[in-house]
Structure 1
Amino acid sequence: MSLTSTEKCAAAEELIAGGKLEDAEFLLEQVLDSHPLNVTALNAKCGLLMRSGKMAEAKRLLQIASDIAPEDPVVLTNLANVALLENRIGDAIDSLEQAHGARPDYLAAILLLGQVHQMLGQRKEAAEWLTRASALQAEDPDVLAAGAAFELDQQNIVEARRLYEKAVETRPDHIRSLAGLARIRCLAGDFDKAVELAKKAHLLAPQDPESALVLAQVFFQSGALGDADKLIGRFKRRYADYAPIVLLGAEIRIAQGEVQQGLADVAAWFRKAPGDAARLVAFLKLLGKAGDWQRILDMCEKLPAEVRASDAVVSLQEEALLALGRTKEGWQSWARRRNLSGESPCPPVQVTLPPRAPLLDEMVLMRFVDAVARNGRLEVSGETQIPGMWERLSAAASVDWAREAAPDPQLLADLAARATLHAPENGGFRAYLAPEPGRRAMWEAALPSDGRPRVGVFWDARPPGLLIDHLQDALQDLNIHIISLQFDESRHQLRTWRGVLDAGVKLEGPGDLVNLVDCLDLVVGPDGVPLHVAGALGRRGIALLQENHEWYWAGSDRQSIWYPDVERIVLPIGPSWAGAKPALRETLERIVPALHLPVTT
């Protein structure tokens, strides 16, 4: 018995959800051949074409469906999807609200409304739509995946993983959940598993831009820049206006050293809708990725007052000011935006760590905790990724850890702003980490002691970061003791560098780095924990950076603002780290007398 048109459409939608687009298209063509104005088939074919990147044909069919059934919630939701792929956020919201008004229980529209508000940073509204979706079908994999994405956006990793895994238990080929689990694995640094999950999602729906985006992001973060560029390039041709694809493509170009081309790509995209605030903010963020902080400030000066005053733009201005070393101006803006008190931070002070605070930001801002704690009690709440480091804070005896957050504690950055602006005696640099004497003595006894300088080194595990080869090339013929501070799996790369002492194998956690680094004469490496430890101890260091370095490496020429005893070498962006060897050699030869460092030729 042959299938009815309704059954064929239902079967086609199932096939589309599973990524089997060719089979779905075969069924839909059968329906449309006999019933060319079947709205259900037109909607399904439109969704199929969008996932294939055939936007012009999708829009043609969608117009036909809209003319027939302008208030159909599926038609309206498809109109919203088209608008999102073309970065017309306002139009998408209008269509989705109409769809919800026409059919309040239409799950697809509700979920998409939650997703759009989440994209816009409107978390309260996003949560409300997700609550409505959950009330309708709490166990539906799409609802679970939407909830997981929301939790992931809030940095609630454990809950996000639980929801994604529950969705996969219900439907093992659920593409969004597989892609979400890949993102979580990527955050944990498990790139092999992340690639496996992302590839599975992509193979289930090879034409789907969302699964392709996740796979490209995993490639990018794991250092496979060529694979990321190739994949995103295919989808850029199909979705020329879809913001996530345009921006990731540009970010990949920048990481490859093609900075001007990456910026030009996004500038052309921005010029298509120069009045679109979302595009403007995206372009400004990309300028930050390129390290073009002054251009951010210059552009912001020319913006309309209402756009310039938005949180997203002001936040970028603050980051630019800090990255340019205009510290006081940056913290003044931060203080105004957060309505901070104009008083000095007088103890007892309560401070909280934001969820999953960037580890290195936390290390930099610990200096203000230490400065305030020198004058009285200070209470910290929240979770830290470096508990052992807090124990090595010079004023650790005055720091208490709270079980629960205070009703309205200030953030670490709030404390930095208030100290810089209202208690400048607390804003200046003083060494704020201290070794544990017994453990330091053990390291001192274990390290070479023939008078040659001890130089600690570390590197990035994968490109486009600074690799072990870059350091080995610059340091291999110097008459020094090279001590590896690497403490993760990339320690095993030392097999290519003979004569280096692998201290990382004996490290008892990040806090023990304080004891080890305090025994060294110099630390050399990229932006990472060992160099921050050296800076916080007031030990000599050389930071190898690129022009898009983080705000805390602000400085003038070689001088670092945040760590006065660490010299900066700032190089062009790119995975080759061109110029690293001569710049590092020149710096070492200049500071040789201070280190009594004999150099062999």
Structure 2
Amino acid sequence: MTSIQSFPPITLRDRIASAHELIVGRRFDEAEALLDEVLQADPGHAEALNALGGVALARKDGARAGEILSAAATAFPDDAAIVNNLGLAHQMLGRLDEAIVCFERATALTPQADGPLHSLATARFMMNNLPGARMAAEQILARSPDAPEAVSLLGMVALAEGNKEQAELHLSRALALNPNDAAALRTLSICCYDRLRFDEALHLAERARLAAPLDMDIVEHLARCEAALGLYPQAEASCRKLLAFAPNHLGVRELLARVLVMTGRPDAGIAELTKLVKASPKSVEPLLGLAATLRFAGRLTQALPFVQHALKLDPDNASALDVRAELSLAIGRFLPRLESGGVQPEQVNVPPGMRAADFILFSRFLARLSEGGAPVRLGADERFWPLAAHLRVPIEIPPPDSEAPAVALPALMRRFDLDATTVAQSVPYLQPNPTLEQRWQQALSEYPRPWIGVVWENHASGLGMDQVRAAMPGRGTVISLMTGQARHDLAAWPEAIDAGRHMDGFDEMIGAIANLDAVIGPDVSALHLAGALGRPGFVVVSAGYPWYWAAQDGHSLWYPSIEVMPQEQPGQWSQVVADLHQRLSQRFADLRN
């Protein structure tokens, strides 16, 4: 007779180990059953209590987790694992201050452990304490250089700070260490999306969904990438799947509305947000979402009353105040000056991540700070220095560690009384380098006039090269100002002069634009440069155009030499391109003009 192998008795520790394996396999009911057996035998078993709280966390039941872990932490205040998990419960419930206290204690209890320190870094990031988050992540990497979660977190911090290049470096390294990190894949996709590299963004978003198919944030971002590439049926399907089980998700509902607007169904898109407003009449966020949708559809004046109503519900709501200001500017209303005590700032700082176009727009106000031609101290990343050198006001670059009282560059707009006349009088406020201006004049002189500078966009909803080409008047010389990879598009437009190959910075572009008879294109830096130089141009913008392209009698309020041509319907360029062709043909019919 074969003897049966003898097994040791099952211990409480065996039950807890099995419960952990079941939790990893998402077999939560079975894990709880085993843990209940342990706690019946030993009601104060710290590891079992912590594991039971872990089950609640895995179920996303923050309230239950908090209840279990609060009692456990009270009994075992020096158990780092329990204290850390209690912090996660607080974080899940939105109590970030309490979460950080728990993570700090867990870190102090186990200073060599990476887990609590990573939890602390994440909570600081969620609290927008970016320096604190970076410091904690760097502490982890100092002892564990290949910790992918810490590298990924540095990428998220860099992205939040507007340093997209640094963010990409960190996130790419994190994915080299852990290719299936869904959070890193999504964040790197956001980087690519923000830099208009939509094909890459979509590929990364699809990989993120494979890693975490039920993560709503990932699926929402995937839908945004699909919409950016003009894959509207796929984007609509992704949104509707999410809304089937999360019907009140504002971000997804607003994205669906934009897809409907872009596919010629603006009323249906607006109705999507109207549903949420009716369902939550006392909530500010749906009202702002509806206003944003109306604005996107080009119905700016209809959007403003909903923002005003939101401010009646919450007069100090920062988002509503910002939207009201932006809408007011977009319909041509100048904002009142904010009281600043009449004290001139010692220094003006350029916010991290500011676009070059925004720097060009706001730098007009620097001249107002120059008393008697005195230099203006400008704290800016070195990429802005070439642009600052072309301002008609002397600029002084302070040392990076300057602690002089400063104001952010965009805030200068609210320090002065503005109207259409005073704004127009500030232009031109950029000037070309005389040597480069003359060099470009000589280079272009061999070509027939008019000299028409062109730029375009390379994404599905933007003004593309084919549309710009169709708008040309059929005479003169087309001068492409496109730089980088976009220059390759010119293979399909051989008669255009590739001036962009000589432009390794803004110095050359400014010198070229100063000679042109017109600059044509969408809302990109070249149009801002033309406006700031006082050169003629036509900007073609979406129906929900940015506020700085508000117009009076067809001309930009902020750049009076630029004529503004908005779409009549989002996503439809044919009519505005035909109108631009007619305007250009009329403008240059008499070459003597």
Regarding TM over 0.5, the answer is yes
Write the deviation string for residues 274-330 of structure 1: whole angstroms up to 9, x where unpaired. 333444444444444444443443234334557122322222221112111111xx2
Could you tell me the TM-score, scaled by structure 2's length? Answer: 0.77
Counterpart of 2:273?
Answer: 266
Q: Does 1:297 align with 2:304?
A: yes
Contact kept? 2:483, 2:503, Cα under 8 Å: yes
Q: From the superposition, tell whether residues 76 and 114 of structure 1 become closer, same or farther in structure 2 (CA, over 3 Å).
A: closer
Write the mapping of 1:36-55 to structure 2, written as runs, cut at 5 A. none
Q: Does 1:376 align with 2:383?
A: no
Write the deviation string for residues 436-480 of structure 1: whole angstroms up to 9, x where unpaired. 2222222222225465312111111112110111122232x6222
Shift of 1:33: 9.0
Shift of 1:133: 9.6
One-letter amino acid of the counterpart of residue 443, structure 1? W
Counterpart of 1:315?
Answer: 322
Distance, in Å, in 1 between the alignment partners of 2:509 and 2:222 is: 35
One-letter amino acid of the counterpart of residue 235, structure 1? L
Identity %: 21
Give the gaps of 5 or more residues in structure 2: 1-6, 39-48, 73-81, 108-113
Distance, in Å, in 2 between the alignment partners of 1:95 and 1:588 is: 57
Write the deviation string for residues 28-68 of structure 1: whole angstroms up to 9, x where unpaired. 57657999999999988887787xxxxxxxx8xx9999999
Secondary structure at the aligned position of 1:123 is classed as: coil
2:222 is aligned, of 215, 223, 226, to 215
Distance, in Å, in 2 between the alignment partners of 1:490 and 1:424 is: 37
Shift of 1:484: 1.4
Counterpart of 2:582?
Answer: 586
Shift of 1:538: 1.3
Counterpart of 1:242?
Answer: 249
Write the deviation string for residues 132-161 of structure 1: whole angstroms up to 9, x where unpaired. 999999967556645643443232446655
One-letter amino acid of the counterpart of residue 584, structure 1? L
1:438 is aligned, of 435, 443, 453, to 435
Contact kept? 2:53, 2:66, Cα under 8 Å: no
Q: From the superposition, tell whether residues 185 and 6 of structure 1 become closer, same or farther in structure 2 (CA, over 3 Å).
A: farther
Q: From the superposition, tell whether residues 426 and 552 of structure 1 become closer, same or farther in structure 2 (CA, over 3 Å).
A: closer
Distance, in Å, in 2 between the alignment partners of 1:561 and 1:466 is: 22
Distance, in Å, in 2 between the alignment partners of 1:103 and 1:537 is: 54
Q: Which is further off, 260-269 or 421-430?
A: 421-430
Write the mapping of 1:380-529 to structure 2, written as runs, cut at 5 A. 380-383=378-381, 385-395=383-393, 398-404=394-400, 405-420=402-417, 428-447=425-444, 449=446, 451-475=448-472, 478-529=474-525
Distance, in Å, in 1 between the alignment partners of 2:22 and 2:201 is: 30
Contact kept? 2:236, 2:256, Cα under 8 Å: yes
Counterpart of 1:21?
Answer: none
Counterpart of 1:530?
Answer: 526
Counterpart of 1:55?
Answer: none
Secondary structure at the aligned position of 1:460 is classed as: coil
Secondary structure at the aligned position of 2:490 is classed as: helix
1:123 is aligned, of 128, 142, 151, to 128
One-letter amino acid of the counterpart of residue 341, structure 2? S
Counterpart of 2:161?
Answer: 154
Distance, in Å, in 2 between the alignment partners of 1:180 and 1:131 is: 20
Distance, in Å, in 2 between the alignment partners of 1:342 and 1:272 is: 47
Contact kept? 1:28, 1:41, Cα under 8 Å: no
Q: From the superposition, tell whether residues 304 and 416 of structure 1 become closer, same or farther in structure 2 (CA, over 3 Å).
A: closer
Write the mapping of 1:179-198 to structure 2, written as runs, cut at 5 A. 179-198=186-205
Q: Which is further off, 304-313 or 159-168?
A: 159-168
Distance, in Å, in 1 between the alignment partners of 2:63 and 2:352 is: 45
Distance, in Å, in 1 between the alignment partners of 2:583 and 2:548 is: 21
Shift of 1:548: 1.2
Secondary structure at the aligned position of 1:356 is classed as: coil
One-letter amino acid of the counterpart of residue 513, structure 1? M
Distance, in Å, in 2 between the alignment partners of 1:437 and 1:566 is: 23
One-letter amino acid of the counterpart of residue 313, structure 1? A
One-letter amino acid of the counterpart of residue 274, structure 1? P
Q: Does 1:553 align with 2:555?
A: no
1:10 is aligned, of 20, 24, 35, to 20
Q: Does 1:173 align with 2:174?
A: no
What RMSD, in angstroms, separates the aligned Cα atoms of the two structures?
4.4
Secondary structure at the aligned position of 2:396 is classed as: strand
Secondary structure at the aligned position of 1:544 is classed as: strand
Q: Does 1:275 align with 2:285?
A: no
One-letter amino acid of the counterpart of residue 546, structure 2? E
Shift of 1:261: 3.0
Secondary structure at the aligned position of 1:302 is classed as: helix
Task: Report the structure number with the largest CA radius of gyration.
Answer: 2
Write the mapping of 1:73-152 to structure 2, written as runs, cut at 5 A. 92-93=93-94, 105=106, 123-124=128-129, 145=152, 148-152=155-159
Secondary structure at the aligned position of 1:523 is classed as: strand
One-letter amino acid of the counterpart of residue 316, structure 1? V
Distance, in Å, in 1 between the alignment partners of 2:532 and 2:406 is: 25
Tell me which of the two structures has the higher relative contact order, counting C-alpha pairs closer than 8 angstroms and 6 or more residues apart.
1
One-letter amino acid of the counterpart of residue 382, structure 1? A
Give the gaps of 5 or more residues in structure 1: 15-23, 51-58, 82-91
Counterpart of 1:20?
Answer: none
Shift of 1:372: 4.4
Q: Does 1:570 align with 2:575?
A: no
Q: From the superposition, tell whether residues 428 and 103 of structure 1 become closer, same or farther in structure 2 (CA, over 3 Å).
A: closer
Distance, in Å, in 1 between the alignment partners of 2:488 and 2:406 is: 43
One-letter amino acid of the counterpart of residue 128, structure 2? R
Secondary structure at the aligned position of 2:462 is classed as: coil
Q: Which is further off, 496-505 or 178-187?
A: 178-187
Write the deviation string for residues 355-379 of structure 1: whole angstroms up to 9, x where unpaired. 1112211111122224544843211
Counterpart of 2:331?
Answer: 324
Distance, in Å, in 2 between the alignment partners of 1:544 and 1:34 is: 66
One-letter amino acid of the counterpart of residue 567, structure 2? L
Distance, in Å, in 1 between the alignment partners of 2:90 and 2:406 is: 44
Secondary structure at the aligned position of 2:314 is classed as: helix
Shift of 1:384: 5.5
Contact kept? 1:420, 1:427, Cα under 8 Å: no
One-letter amino acid of the counterpart of residue 385, structure 2? P
Contact kept? 2:453, 2:481, Cα under 8 Å: yes
Contact kept? 2:346, 2:405, Cα under 8 Å: no
Write the deviation string for residues 545-573 of structure 1: whole angstroms up to 9, x where unpaired. 12211111011241210111111111134
One-letter amino acid of the counterpart of residue 490, structure 2? L
Q: From the superposition, tell whether residues 429 and 101 of structure 1 become closer, same or farther in structure 2 (CA, over 3 Å).
A: closer
Counterpart of 1:362?
Answer: 359
Distance, in Å, in 1 between the alignment partners of 2:175 and 2:121 is: 21
Distance, in Å, in 2 between the alignment partners of 1:96 and 1:419 is: 39
Shift of 1:111: 8.2
Count the aligned residue pairs: 551
Contact kept? 1:70, 1:76, Cα under 8 Å: no
Shift of 1:270: 3.7
Counterpart of 1:341?
Answer: 341
One-letter amino acid of the counterpart of residue 272, structure 1? A
